[in-house]
């Protein structure tokens, strides 16, 4: 129970920083877009953009994993 509460606090804190409400469907859609972008060889010629895409992708993967853990507990 306390682990679930901690995860909720982390998600809430993340949402406050992002200024929104977590929408898992939108997050999955955006993650799909980022995965496609990551497969584009041209992305890697712009290291700043590649880093930004990969950072956002990692954050979404982590948020979705936490969300999934909450809904399955």
Q: How confident is the model at residue 69 (pLDDT cuts 50, 70, 90)?
A: confident
CA–CA distance, 38 with 32 (Å, rounded to integer): 10
Q: What is the pLDDT of residues 19-46, one digit of tens each?
A: 566 788 888 999 999 999 999 999 899 9
Nearest CA to 57 out of 17, 15, 28 is that of 28
Residue of 56, 15, 5 whose CA lies nearest to 34: 56
Collapsing DSSP to helix, strand or coil, 41 comes out as helix
The reply to whether the predicted model has a pTM over 0.85 is no
Average pLDDT over residues 15-21: 58
């Amino acid at each position: 129970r306390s682990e679930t509460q901690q995860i909720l606090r982390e998600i809430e804190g993340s949402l406050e920083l992002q200024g929104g409400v977590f929408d898992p469907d939108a997050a999955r859609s955006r993650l799909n877009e980022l995965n496609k972008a990551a497969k584009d060889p041209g992305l890697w010629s712009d290291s700043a953009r590649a880093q930004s895409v990969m950072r956002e992708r990692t954050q979404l993967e982590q948020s979705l994993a936490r969300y999934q853990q909450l809904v399955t507990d």
